[in-house]
Amino acid sequence: MLDIKRIVSRIIAEKIDELTEDEIASMLEYPPNPDMGDIALPCFKLSRILRKSPVDIANDLSSNITEDEHIDRVEAVSGYLNFFLDKGIFIEKIVTKVTTEQERYVSSDIGKGKNIVIDYSSPNIAKPFHFGHLRSTSIGNALYNIFEFLGYNSIGINHLGDWGTQFGKLIVAYKKWGDKERIEKNGISELMDIYVKYHKEAETDPSLDDEARAWFTEMEKGNEEALELWHWFKDISLQEFARIYNILDMKFDSYAGESFYNDKMGPIVEELNEKGLLIESEGAHIVDLEKFDMPPCLILKKDGSTLYATRDIAAAKYRKETYDFEKCIYLTGADQSLHFKQFFKVIDLMGYDWADRLIHAPFGLVSVEGEKLASRAGKVILLEDVLKEAIDKTLKIIEEKNPNLENKEEIAEQMGVGAVLFSDLSSNRIKDISFSWNEMLNFDGETGPYVQYTHARACSVISRTDDDIDYTFDASHLKTSEEYNLVKRISFFPSRITEAKDALEPSIITRYLVDLAQDFNRFYHNHSILNVEDENIKKGRILLTKATKITLEIGLKLIGLKAPNRV
């Protein structure tokens, strides 16, 4: 890709022996206003190295810089070296590259041969798939696509919460108050009802908890009756989850959840013991982490049953052996940060040098219209309900705006789901976010529908052009700032994808797409594309529209959205 920073840093590096191209590239800045050039070198950063004043450095370099076809002129202004690009060359190169190479203009193979495990979504069996699980799901899926696009082999694992003491409680609840037919009919919501009842009753009758613990121990021992019930609860849940993943159009490479590690924890406990890490404390077995300023990591409870952390340690080791990952990334809320720090430390203490390849990517809390999401007993907001409502609302908007649109239902689904995903991905990962229906569905706001709408607008322009003609053009005819800004924006796309990958931050892509859509709409509103006399301008603008369409489509797909041609 034609990278402005690369070009300029190469030219400067020829004149400065003390610094490499990369070092210079990292010093370059994009000036806040176009009078100061397209890219600038703040020369004070070189003063110490070159032992000269910034003003002298800028002046010397400006009179001495080698000519280059990409650069129109260079100016030294108060210690800054400002580069003005040759806009025609720049536009022509970018637009030609994007339209001829299409997706390949930005995909890459930097990740070739490297496996990236992404642990995401991971809802809990027998509990509703509530709205709070969307963030892990949407961010994980976007990262999965981004890594894959850069040539890595992504492995998506849904680490289902399908083991643990809560299943002992559920068995007790079912045996006391369960109704098979009702559960078959109402699914998870019925299981939730008896689970909530259990918690109420257990407040006054602590013997219930003893029973529940005993049932979980039975499960761990392989008791047939217990396992049969557990299997049944799991099937019911998986059916509901499948419905949701279907709406989201998401797939996982593995559904190996917590229960998958049942037979893999014994060896882990043994290993911890052999390595002298396991100590007994009040009947339980723990790994002491006091030296690292953390509470101990619980490995076995008093009754010998395993814990969340035990299963995660076994899972990490299994994944390393199975996938030999470059990185294993976990997407959960920030409230689990300590858990991950603890078990990563245990892996490190076990002597595994790959402990530093385990990465927890936490995210903030979600609220809807200002209301926090309650999880236990009380109002839960179901993800499926939110998605369905978004689709309904979008259909109503389409019916008002474009009643004759073909496949209205399908488009409404693509945009409604898109609105929810985009809004979820838009804010910085770690920030708490609040959903608002009006904001999320605003076709003119910074939303998924806005980007999808802009993509469809570009498609509609392209559909009115002739594909067979020769699109060679002289870009020196394209002189407006809207054209230039749009091309510049397109040229940033490859680095934005890499940044999103490095920071594990899909919001970099959502931000980019909104900026790109705004740049395109400014261009579209200020200039004719098809009704222009000058053939060079017309061809250039059509290609520019195609390059925008290609970029918007790739970007939308990377973050898990569809890019319909009409809306």
> Interface with ligand ARG by CB under 6 A: which residues?
119, 122-124, 159, 161, 312, 315, 330, 332
CB atoms within 10 A of CB 127: 19
Q: Cβ of residue 301: shortest distance to ligand ARG, in angstroms? A: 18
Start-to-end CA distance of the chain, whole Å, equals: 31
Tell me the backbone φ, ψ of residue 40, rounded to 5 degrees: -140, 150
Residue 97 vs 159, nearer CB to ligand ARG: 159
Residue 257 vs 540, nearer CB to ligand ARG: 257
Q: Cβ of residue 238: shortest distance to ligand ARG, in angstroms? A: 14
Q: Cβ of residue 332: shortest distance to ligand ARG, in angstroms? A: 5
Q: Cβ distance 547 to 180 under 8 Å?
A: no
Q: Cβ of residue 559: shortest distance to ligand ARG, in angstroms? A: 21
Nearest residue to 558 (alpha-carbon basis) of 159, 117, 150:
150
Residue 360 vs 541, nearer CB to ligand ARG: 360
CB atoms within 10 A of CB 432: 12
Residue 116 vs 411, nearer CB to ligand ARG: 116
Tokens of 344: 């990563």
Q: Cβ of residue 326: shortest distance to ligand ARG, in angstroms? A: 18
Residue 128 vs 449, nearer CB to ligand ARG: 128
Tokens of 145: 């696509």
Residue 312 vs 553, nearer CB to ligand ARG: 312
Residue 215 vs 340, nearer CB to ligand ARG: 340
Q: How far apart are CA 18 and CA 106, in angstroms?
A: 32
Residue 124 vs 551, nearer CB to ligand ARG: 124
Residue 268 CA: distances (Å) to CA of 130, 297, 305, 311: 33, 14, 13, 9
Token pair 């009078």 is found at: 35
Q: Cβ of residue 35: shortest distance to ligand ARG, in angstroms? A: 51
Residue 127 vs 496, nearer CB to ligand ARG: 127
Q: Cβ of residue 130: shortest distance to ligand ARG, in angstroms? A: 10
Q: Cβ of residue 190: shortest distance to ligand ARG, in angstroms? A: 20
Helix, strand, or coil (residue 413): helix
Q: Cβ of residue 46: shortest distance to ligand ARG, in angstroms? A: 47
Q: How far apart are CA 343 and CA 352, in angstroms?
A: 12
Q: Cβ of residue 381: shortest distance to ligand ARG, in angstroms? A: 15
Q: Cβ distance 543 to 433 under 8 Å?
A: no
Residue 312 vs 505, nearer CB to ligand ARG: 312
The string of DSSP codes covering 9-25 is HHHHHTT-TTS-HHHHH
Tokens of 317: 């080791």
Residue 358 vs 516, nearer CB to ligand ARG: 358
Q: How far apart are CA 513 and CA 450, in angstroms?
A: 10
Q: Cβ of residue 388: shortest distance to ligand ARG, in angstroms? A: 22
Q: Cβ of residue 138: shortest distance to ligand ARG, in angstroms? A: 15
Q: Cβ of residue 113: shortest distance to ligand ARG, in angstroms? A: 25
Three-state secondary structure readout of 190-256: HHHHHHHHHHHHHHHCCHHHHHHHHHHHHHHHCCHHHHHHHHHHHHHHHHHHHHHHHHHCCCCCECC
Beta pairing class for 153-157 and 278-281: unpaired
DSSP state of 67: P
Q: Cβ of residue 161: shortest distance to ligand ARG, in angstroms? A: 3
Residue 241 vs 493, nearer CB to ligand ARG: 241
Residue 462 CA: distances (Å) to CA of 98, 232, 256, 317, 491: 15, 53, 45, 51, 21
Residue 277 vs 307, nearer CB to ligand ARG: 307
CB atoms within 10 A of CB 110: 11
Q: Cβ distance 440 to 447 under 8 Å?
A: yes
Q: CB neighbours of 540 closer than 8 A, spacing ≥ 6?
A: 91, 92, 95, 473, 475, 477, 478, 483
Residue 159 vs 477, nearer CB to ligand ARG: 159
**Element of type H or E holding 493:** helix 481-503
Give the residue closest to ligand ARG by C-beta.
161
- Tally DSSP H helices, then E strands, for the chain: 21, 13
Distance between alpha carbon 251 and the CA centroid of its chain, in Å?
15
Quote the crossing angle between the two packed helices 383-401 and 224-248, to the nearest 10°.
Answer: 20
